[in-house]
Copies of this chain bind each other. A is one copy, B any other.
Amino acid sequence: MDRVKLVEVGPRDGLQNEAALVPTDIKIALVERLADCGLRHIETASFVSPKWVPQMADGAAVLAGIRRKAGVVYSALTPNLRGLEAALAAGADEVAVFTAASESFCQKNINCSIEQSLARFTPVLAEAWARRIRVRGYVSTVLGCPYEGDIGPDAVARVAGALYRMGCAEISLGDTIGTGTPGKAKAMLAAVRREVPIERLAAHFHDTYGQALANLYAVLEEGVRIVDCSVAGLGGCPYARGASGNLASEDLVYLLHGLGFKTGVDLARLVETGHWISQQLGRENGSKVGRAMNG
């Protein structure tokens, strides 16, 4: 049976959108519970300046506090060399850099051009390489940009290819605003795989318009075998109550198991974890499987 690698991003990409500060011990418990569900790749912390993302200021404490489980990769987001140093000092097993396929989004999100972002990653990758640390590269706005609208597949392929040639071991393709549909996702993937081997590509789809799982199914058919997801759909769009953001891990696992893929994840336990964290945050569970199985 075919295996799909899941990258659980709830503790980082999910929680960073929560308005109220989440206590460090809840973050630690969340990461531990996710590992107990069988998830093997957990994005655990971010070392972006706490000035920009106060929610993630306790990244070192989270990484230091978790009971480590053998075989689990605990990763961290690192915008630059200083972030990398802090992440590694805190014990991150893997790091991730992030840029965008849209020039305007890159400027507004990380305050530099795409070109400048790539230049900034060069020393990060060199240092990570020297220390035998795997680096993941995120490309956001691959199926649409809030400022520019449509983003051409070639623009995505250019950035993804540059990250791959710089040494990123895995490139995660993010439909940040969730506006993509399956045909667009396939066209984007077709362009990107000319630059990056498909086994290095991850799909990171948001469900803001309800399209994430359909898009995901389309790229699974094309051979993508790494998928990012967020327990309970943590990471909802801040601009609309109830509008969801990240693809819920529970809904993804349900799909994958239904299609006969192996994930190593215990779905019932994952549903419990999603229910638990939703209660902790006083938030509606963003996973439909979670709601149906808790009914």
Question: Which residues of A pack against B, CB within 8 Å?
Answer: 178, 180-184, 207-211, 213-214, 216-218, 237, 239-244, 248, 251, 254-255, 257-260, 284-285, 287-289, 291-292, 294-295
Contacts and interface: CB of A to CB of B under 8 A. Distances in A.
In this complex, which of A180, A251, A258 has the most chain B Cβ atoms within 10 angstroms of its Cβ? A258
Given A217-B218, A237-B292, A243-B295, 15 more contacts: A182-B217, A182-B258, A207-B288, A208-B288, A209-B251, A209-B289, A210-B287, A211-B213, A213-B214, A214-B214, A214-B255, A217-B217, A240-B295, A241-B291, A244-B288
Contact of A183 (B242, B243, B260): B260
Contact of A184 (B207, B209, B244, B258): B258
Tell me how many chains of this kind the complex includes.
Answer: 2
Given A183-B259, A259-B182, A211 B254 contact: yes
B291 A240 contact: yes
A32 to B, nearest CB: 26
B294 A210 contact: no
A181 B292 contact: no
22 contacts: A178-B292, A180-B258, A181-B259, A182-B258, A183-B258, A183-B260, A210-B213, A210-B287, A211-B213, A211-B254, A211-B255, A211-B258, A214-B214, A214-B216, A217-B217, A237-B292, A240-B292, A241-B291, A242-B291, A243-B288, A243-B291, A243-B295
Nearest to A255: B181
Nearest to A213: B214
